[in-house]
A = this chain, B = another copy of it.
Amino acid sequence: MPTNIHETSIISPKAELGEDVVVGPYTIIGDKVRIGNNTHIEAYCEIGIAQGTQDGGLLTIGAHSTIRSGTVLYQGSTFGEGFTTGHKVTVREGVTAGDGLQLGTLSDIQGRCQFGEYVKLHSNVHVGQASILGDYIWIFPYVVLTNDPHPPSETRLGCHLEDFCVVATMSTVLPGVRLGRGALIGAMTLVREDVPDDNICVGVPGRLVGETKKIKFKKTGEPVYPWRRHFHRGYPDEIVKSWIAEFE
């Protein structure tokens, strides 16, 4: 049974809420919404809003999710279990995401894009339509994934980010660019061309400066990348075990 629904929230009788769902003050939940068990929707959220009078289809939020205050989620998206947002996040319609998606405070997901498993976006990341992101990706604050090669135009040529890639703060990825598996984009980089697997791109304009394996921890001399060798917080035990086994 749904429990702990704040009396000031406005919830459509058609919305399907799982067990142990918490809904905070002043939150609005629309018709076409299915929320999994043990999920917490904080205050001032709009869950399942429509684009004008269009029926955007069902919004599904997996179990064990945390939607922080001020978040706006449109209809017509599907998020896996353990979905987490920061405050004041906006996600337009047509997103599909695996488990463990994290969207940091103020992130702005334009819709019609795909996220794999355990993708983590820090604050204020902008993801354009038609972006395709694989699994275990990290994107840091103020990164923009663009999609229009000839602005303004009708073309939506999304970026394609492969598993384990990392995009550091304040970088922009130009339309249609592919970031390879395990690629590393330095802070404030303008990525104009594809980056091969496990390679580093830095600068404005971005240039390739070698493989990620050359980066070592100062203290230990151990390689920093692939980061799954040493960074495990927030991933399921089974996945972490497989990562550890990979480097034994």
CB pair B152–A166 under 8 Å, yes or no, is: yes
Assess whether B170 is in contact with A172, with CB atoms less than 8 Å apart. yes
Q: How far is the CA of A102 from the CA of B120 in the complex (A)?
A: 30
From residue 124 to 153 of chain A, which have CB atoms closer than 8 A to chain B? 124, 126, 138, 140-142, 144, 146, 148, 150-153
Secondary structure of the A contact surface, majority rule:
loop
Show 16 residue pairs from A and B whose CB-CB distance is below 8 angstroms, ordered by the A residue.
A26-B26, A26-B44, A44-B44, A69-B72, A70-B72, A87-B90, A88-B88, A105-B108, A124-B126, A126-B141, A126-B142, A140-B146, A150-B215, A150-B217, A169-B172, A170-B170
Among residues of B, the one whose C-beta sits closest to the C-beta of A104 is B108
Q: Cβ of B187 and Cβ of A231 under 8 Å apart?
A: no
Q: Is the CB of A108 within 8 A of B108?
A: no
Tally of chain A residues near chain B (CB < 8 A): 55
Using A69-B72, A154-B233 as known contacts, say yes or no to A28 and B43 having CB atoms under 8 A apart. yes
